[in-house]
Amino acid sequence: MTPDPSFFTLHRDLPREGPGRPEDVHWALYAAAVPEEARIADLACGPGADTRTLAKARPGARIEAVDRVPHFVAEARAAVAPYGARVTVREGDMAEVTGPYDFIWCAGGIYFLGVTEGLLLWRKALAPGGRVAFSEPCLPPRASAAAHAFWAEEYPAITGIEGIRRRVAAAGCRVLGERMVLGAAFRDYYDPMARRIAALRPGADAALGGVLDAAETEIERWQAAPDDIAYALLVVAPE
């Protein structure tokens, strides 16, 4: 699947495609008690920043990363090349994985399926005792009215943490751990994108200009009120 060319002009070759840091991966591996020789999936892996962290953190694991965008698959393959044949990256649909996996990691991707829908699919791909960690946009308890209005338009399914817990329960899963992804994780995502926007702005056509404007608005909103938006990272298991 090839994304809209203007969107992709902005998004290709960035270090990552959503907020998150290596310590979030480490926390999830610990919270999910992922064994050393686990079978791990990184679904919607994007350019593979977290695939690399998983590979480093679990040197005995077999890791399969999946993304539907060929260019991201190529970027992720390059990122994990040093880890050899135990780490593979393939082009595919994360809705169709069969596993079995001991641990499914999905940073900033489950919203393409819906939290409940994604978990219902993925639980079938889990080995007995397997766990899923995913991150999902989340309105913090004290998010402003302006943040509610902005995100309701950008992502109508957005809720606070209670709403995410309800979507997890609707998939017959229980929450083993929760962590808010905030601050530096957003900076790591937005700073390279802001530099890319500045570089692309001169000479951008109308379509690209629209993509740059939308991304800039999102970044400016975060810079002005960084506590108005978070990603919730949850480790869950089938009941």
Residue whose structure tokens are 């008690």: 33
Which residue number, 3 or 169, has a Cβ lying nearer to ligand SAM? Answer: 3
Assigned token pair, 150: 């902005």
Which residue number, 12 or 86, has a Cβ lying nearer to ligand SAM? Answer: 12
Which residue number, 18 or 129, has a Cβ lying nearer to ligand SAM? Answer: 18
Which residue number, 70 or 129, has a Cβ lying nearer to ligand SAM? Answer: 70
**Residues near 222 by beta carbon (within 8 Å), at least 6 away in sequence:** 186, 190, 228, 229
Which chain residues interact with ligand SAM by CB under 6 A?
16-18, 20, 44-47, 49-50, 66-69, 72, 93-95, 107-109, 112
Phi, psi of 34 (to 5 degrees): -75, 125
Residue closest to ligand SAM when measured from CB atoms: 46
- Rg (C-alpha) for the chain, rounded Å, is 17
Q: How far is the CB of 66 from ligand SAM (least distance, A)?
A: 6
Work out the angle between the directed axes of helices 184-200 and 206-224 (0-180°, nearest 10). 150
Q: How far is the CB of 203 from ligand SAM (least distance, A)?
A: 26
Q: How far is the CB of 107 from ligand SAM (least distance, A)?
A: 4
Residue whose structure tokens are 């489950």: 110
